């Protein structure tokens, strides 16, 4: 998929990531209202103007991390065996995406708080949802490719992608307020299991 870690491009991604993390960290620590672009720039070690070169708003910088992750589900779907039933493949791709997180270096205590912030803060909700929609579009394209349909003209791939997004979001919300805490995988699997999308 992406096999050109051109030295320049890599640096670019590093900067992007640094800015996004800085934004998340500061927003979680002191609350969104008490973080300026300048604070983020200082924290990330770049100039304020550069922050706005990468992201067109403070909110977008914070949501960038979520955006990038969500996009990954489409890639994971493409990697599933071709014979696997569609909804099952989508389920497994989503599961895999979130299990990958757990294995990552950062066990994200911060990350969970970041997501919670995006859901709680009105100023962030929009950007959060935008990221979700963008991911669903990518997912719809992957589904269309897999089923030989056209994401531009057919309803089905879009519907399946959107339904998957719905299941993931519902699972997230439910998981975050679950008391006592439960495994996210199990919630996600239950959500996908409860929704069924008919084939054409």
Minimum CB–partner distance for residue 62 and its own copies (Å): 12
Closer by beta carbon to DNA, 67 or else 80: 67
Assigned token pair, 115? 């997501």
DSSP label at 177?
H
Residues whose CB falls within 8 Å of the CB of residue 140, separated by 6 or more in sequence, listed in order: 151, 157, 158, 160, 161, 162
Assigned token pair, 155? 């309803």
Candidates 132, 122, 128, 96; CA nearest to 33 is 122
Closer by beta carbon to its own copies, 37 or else 190: 190
Assigned token pair, 127? 């950007």
Are 166 and 128 in contact, with CB atoms under 8 Å apart?
A: no
Is 159 among the residues that bind its own copies (CB under 8 A)? yes
Site string for DNA, 33-72 (x = CB under 7 A): --xxxx-------xxxxx-xxx-xxxx-------------
The single residue among 163, 176, 185, 189 that binds its own copies, judged by CB under 8 A, is: 163
Closer by beta carbon to DNA, 14 or else 150: 14
Residues that bind DNA (CB under 7 A): 6-9, 11-12, 15, 35-38, 46-50, 52-54, 56-59
């Amino acid at each position: 998929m992406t096999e050109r870690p051109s030295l320049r491009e890599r640096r670019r991604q590093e900067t992007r990531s640094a800015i996004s993390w800085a934004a998340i960290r500061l927003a979680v620590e002191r609350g969104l209202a008490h973080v300026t672009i300048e604070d983020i720039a200082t924290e990330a070690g770049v100039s304020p103007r550069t922050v706005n070169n990468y992201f067109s708003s403070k909110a977008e910088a914070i949501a960038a991390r979520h955006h990038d992750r969500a996009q990954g589900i489409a890639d994971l779907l493409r990697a599933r065996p071709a014979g696997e039933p569609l909804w099952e493949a989508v389920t497994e791709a989503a599961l895999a995406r979130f299990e990958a997180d757990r294995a990552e270096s950062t066990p994200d205590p911060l990350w969970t708080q970041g997501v919670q912030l995006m859901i709680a803060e009105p100023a962030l909700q929009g950007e959060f949802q935008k990221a979700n929609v963008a991911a669903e579009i990518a997912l719809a394209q992957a589904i269309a490719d897999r089923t030989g349909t056209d994401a531009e003209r057919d309803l089905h791939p879009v519907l399946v992608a959107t339904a998957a997004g719905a299941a993931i979001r519902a699972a997230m919300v439910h998981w975050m307020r679950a008391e006592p805490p439960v495994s996210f995988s199990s919630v996600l699997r239950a959500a996908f299991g409860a929704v069924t999308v008919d084939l054409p």
